[in-house]
Structures are given as C-alpha cells and as structure tokens.
Amino acid sequence: MTDKQHTDLSTYVRTLADMLGLKDAVVEISRDEPEREDCAANVRGVPGRKFWSVSFGPRFWEMTADDKRETIVHELLHCHMDPALDHVRTDLYENRIVGHQQYVLIYDAMLRTFEVGIDGIAHAIACHFPLPEWGEDGTK
C-alpha cells in the first residue's frame, strides 16, 4: 500500500467509523496484510479497549468501489460485536466456568454466528454510506 493509498483509506475508514457510531474509538489502518491470504480485510482489537487495527490484503484493491465499501462496513461492525467474544474468553474460560473444549465450541459457534450476521447487516446497510472516492487501483 502506498502512502497515498494509506492516507486516503485512513480518511475513508474514519468517516465510515464515525457514521457507524465509533467516534470514540481509535481505528487505525495497518500496513500489514491480513494473516489469512483469502481475506480482503481483517480487523483486530485490543480486549477491553476501543482500539482497532484494520488490515487490507491485495484482494481488497481488486474489488469494485461497492464491494470495498461493504467490506469496510463489515470490518467496522466487528468493532461493535467482537468484544462479546472477549467476554466469553474472560468470563467463561479464564474464570474456569467451562473447560477448554466447551470454550472452543462456544467461541467458534459465536464467531460463525457473528460472521453470518455481520455479513447480512453490512450487505443491507452499506448502500447508505458514501462510496470511496478513489479508483479501482486505489488512487484518486
């Protein structure tokens, strides 16, 4: 990602984050690519903090403007939902309420449920947000 792409993407993500009720959160754009190669984008948070880092892979830059917008909305929705996964880890597993096997089952079920729900919500609402102002190659 070039410096210009990083700046443009940071500005755009901040705009969408504010529109999605994340004005009080730090949302930064990582220059690292997602850990999984099949991910266009990925968000990671700091448990217990409103600090998020979004990474974008090569697939993201090949997407249409509509798909880029929906992908970013999807990742930002995780900022609202993923803290529940931290609570499962802290409240159930670290406090020894459930064993490791039960924790993994609960966590994985919640993760899959969140992904499906966030996909649906992002698809339904993304059209109400502005499109990115850069071209398919990531430049204005």
Q: How many other CB atoms are there within 10 angstroms of residue 96's CB atom?
A: 7
Distance between CA atoms of residues 94 and 19, nearest Å: 35
At 95, list the tokens.
């406090």
Residue range 17-26: average pLDDT? Answer: 96
Examine residue 138 and state whether it is found in any structural domain, yes or no.
Answer: no
Contact 28, 10 (CB under 8 A): yes
Examine residue 140 and state whether it is found in any structural domain, yes or no.
Answer: no
Examine residue 80 and state whether it is found in any structural domain, yes or no.
Answer: yes
Question: Rounded to two decimals, what is the model's pTM?
Answer: 0.88
Is the pLDDT at 19 greater than 90? The verdict is: yes
Among 2-6, 25-29, 102-106, which range has the highest average pLDDT?
A: 25-29
Instruction: Write phi, then psi, for 126 (nearest 5 degrees).
Output: -55, -35
Contact 51, 25 (CB under 8 A): yes
Domain count, the chain: 1
Examine residue 111 and state whether it is found in any structural domain, yes or no.
Answer: yes
Examine residue 58 and state whether it is found in any structural domain, yes or no.
Answer: yes
Residue range 37-61: average pLDDT? Answer: 90
Examine residue 135 and state whether it is found in any structural domain, yes or no.
Answer: no
Examine residue 133 and state whether it is found in any structural domain, yes or no.
Answer: no
Mean pLDDT over all residues of the chain? 89
Helical H segments across 20-99, by residue range: 58-62, 65-81, 83-87
Summarize pLDDT for 68-111 with one digit per residue, the tens: 999 999 999 999 998 888 888 788 877 778 888 988 898 899 99
Examine residue 96 and state whether it is found in any structural domain, yes or no.
Answer: yes
Higher pLDDT, 117 or 34: 117
Q: How many other CB atoms are there within 10 angstroms of residue 105's CB atom?
A: 11
Q: Which domain holds residue 26?
A: 3-128
Instruction: Determine the residue type at 84.
Output: A
DSSP run (H or E) holding 54:
strand 51-56
Question: Looking at residue 138, what is its pLDDT?
Answer: 52
| Percent of the chain residues topping a pLDDT of 90 | 60
